[in-house]
Copies of this chain bind each other. A is one copy, B any other.
Amino acid sequence: MSDQRSEALDYLQQREGAFISEMQEFLKIPSISSLSENKDEMVRAAEWLAEKLNRLGMVNIEIFPTAGHPIVFGQSQPVDKHRPTVLIYGHYDVQPVDPLDLWESGPFEPEIRGEYLYARGATDMKGQAMAALNAIEAIAETEELPINFKFIFEGEEEIGSTNLEEFISTHQSLLACDICLNPDTGMIKADLPTITYGLRGLAYFEIHIYGPDHDLHSGTFGGVVHNPGQVLCELVAGMHDADGRITLPGFYEQVRPLDQDEREELARLMIGEDFYLQESGVPKLWGEGGYTPLERATGRPTLEVNGLLTGFTGEGPKTVLPAKAMAKISCRLVADQKAEDVFIQIQQYLEENVPDTVTYDVKMISSGPSAITDRHTQSMEAMIKAMETVWNVRPVFRREGGTVPAVAYMQAYLGVDTVNIGFSLPGDNLHAPNEKLHLPTWYKGIETIIHYIYNL
C-alpha cells in the first residue's frame, strides 16, 4: 500500500468522531423537498454543502438557482490534466417524515443508538454524500489530490429530479468529466459490497375521483350516489390482474425482457424469498408470476399504491359518503419504458374504466428515466478492486429497484457512465420512520472511496 494511501486511511481513523459530528449537523437540517413550506431549509442545506466544499479547498463553488430547489456545484483545483476527472453526484434533499409518531427519536435530531445513527437522510443520502466528501478530505489533508474532482448536489432527487435534466443539459462543459460516481445506492448485506448497474425509472401519478359536490350523509344518499371511494378502489384493484401483471393498456410493450445471462447473474446473488421475507416481515411474498423475487424487484416494472385518502379517517364512526377520493400510484420502469408513455397508458386506462357516475383527473407529479451502465470499464475495475481490499470479497453486480434519474442524464448529456455504489443496508428504513445508518459499514464505505480514488 502506498504511503499516501495509508496516511489518508490514518487520517480517517483519527477523524472518525469529527466526521460523525459534522454529519449530524447536516442531518439536523429538515430539507424535505416535497414540502413547499420547507423551501428555506432547502437553501440552508445547499449553503451548508457549499461551505463544506469551501472548507475542502474546492473552487468555483456556486449555488445555482433552479425553478425548484438549488443545485450546488464545486470542483478541485485542477491537477495534471491527463489525470481523470470524477464527477461526484449527490442530493441533499430527504423524504417526508410521516408517520411521525413511529419515530423513536426526532427525524431531525440525529441520535446514535448502538452501531446506528438514526435520522431522516442518515442513509438516503446525506450520510453517503458525506462519506465521499470525507474520503476526499482524508486525501486532501495528507497530500495534493491525485485526480480532479467535480461535485454536483441537487435538492430534488426525492421529488423526481425535476430540474436536473435542464441543468445538466445546459452546463455540459462545466460538468465535463470522465466518470461519474454516485454513492446513492446500497449493499445487499453488510458483508457483501455491491455495485448497482441497473436502476429502474419512475412514473408517479396522483388520481382524484370526484363524486357529489359536497360530502353527503351515507344513510340518505347511500345506494343512489356512486361512492368515489368505492370507484377508486375498483380502479386501483383493476390495475393488476390475478397473476400480478399490470393491466394498463400496452404497459409491457416497451419492456426490455431480462435475458438468460442476466437472470443467471441475478440468481447468483442468492437473494431469495428468505431475504425479502425477513426484511419486510410479511407472511408471504407476492408479485408477477414467472419471475423470482429479485427479478421482480429490480428487473421488472411494478405499480404500487403509495397513498389513498377519502372520507373520514379519524377515530370512531362517521357516516359520510365522501365527495372525493385520492390515490397516489407510482410505477417503477425498466429499460426502454418511458414515463410519458406510461402516463398516456394510465390516462387511457382511466378513460376506459372510470364510470360516468363520477368525474376524475390524473396528473404525473414525478418521473425519472431508468438506466443501465457498462460493467466493464476501467472505473468499474477500480471500484471492484477497492471493495475487494476493504471487504476481502469480490463485489456483486445488481440491478436496483429504485430510481436515480441523474444516472440517465449523465449518460445522455455528458456521455459518461456512472459507478453506482453506496453503503446503505436493506434494513436501514429508507423512506420510512427510524431511518438509520450502520456506522461500521459507513466507515468501510469511506475507506472504499479512498482506495477507489487511488486505484483510478
Contact = CB atoms under 8 A, between A and B. Distances in A.
A200 B219 CA distance: 8
A288 B224 CA distance: 8
A227 B305 contact: yes
B311 A230 contact: no
A318 B313 contact: no
Interface stretch (A13-21, A236-244, A445-453): A236-244
Contact of A433 (B96, B214, B221, B232): B214
A302 interface: yes
Contact of A312 (B98, B217, B232, B434): B98
A215 B433 contact: yes
Interface in A296-345: 296-297, 300-322, 325-326, 328, 330, 332
Interface stretch (A82-90, A107-115, A133-141, A350-358): A350-358
B286 A357 contact: yes
A249 interface: no
Contacts of A430: 217, 220
Contacts of A432: 214-217, 320
B431 A280 contact: no
A268 interface: no
Interface in A68-122: 95-96, 98-99, 102
B357 A224 contact: no
Given A316-B365, A356-B283, A296 B223 contact: yes
A435 to B, nearest CB: 10
Contacts of A328: 311-313, 317-318
Interface stretch (A143-151, A259-267, A398-406): A398-406
Most buried by B among A200, A213, A220, A315: A220
A369 interface: no
A67 interface: no
A281 B358 CA distance: 10
Contact of A233 (B236, B311, B356): B236
A198 interface: no
Contacts of A1: none
B223 A288 contact: yes
A247 interface: no
Contacts of A33: 316
Given A318-B34, A359-B283, A326 B313 contact: yes
A234 B237 CA distance: 5
A163 interface: no
A237 B233 contact: yes
A304 B35 contact: no
A46 interface: no
A393 B57 CA distance: 91
A225 B96 contact: no
Interface in A378-419: 400-403
A402 B297 contact: no
Contacts of A305: 227, 229-230, 233, 310-311, 322, 325
Contacts of A200: 219
Nearest to A325: B308
A142 interface: no
A160 interface: yes
25 contacts: A36-B315, A96-B314, A98-B312, A102-B214, A158-B319, A211-B282, A212-B281, A213-B280, A217-B430, A218-B306, A222-B401, A223-B302, A224-B276, A224-B293, A229-B236, A232-B233, A233-B236, A286-B357, A306-B318, A306-B321, A307-B310, A308-B325, A311-B328, A316-B366, A320-B432
5 closest A-B pairs by CB: A34-B316, A213-B281, A219-B402, A229-B305, A226-B286
Given A222-B302, A224-B293, 16 more contacts: A34-B318, A217-B430, A217-B432, A218-B306, A218-B431, A219-B403, A221-B401, A222-B303, A224-B287, A224-B296, A226-B282, A226-B286, A285-B357, A307-B318, A307-B320, A308-B325
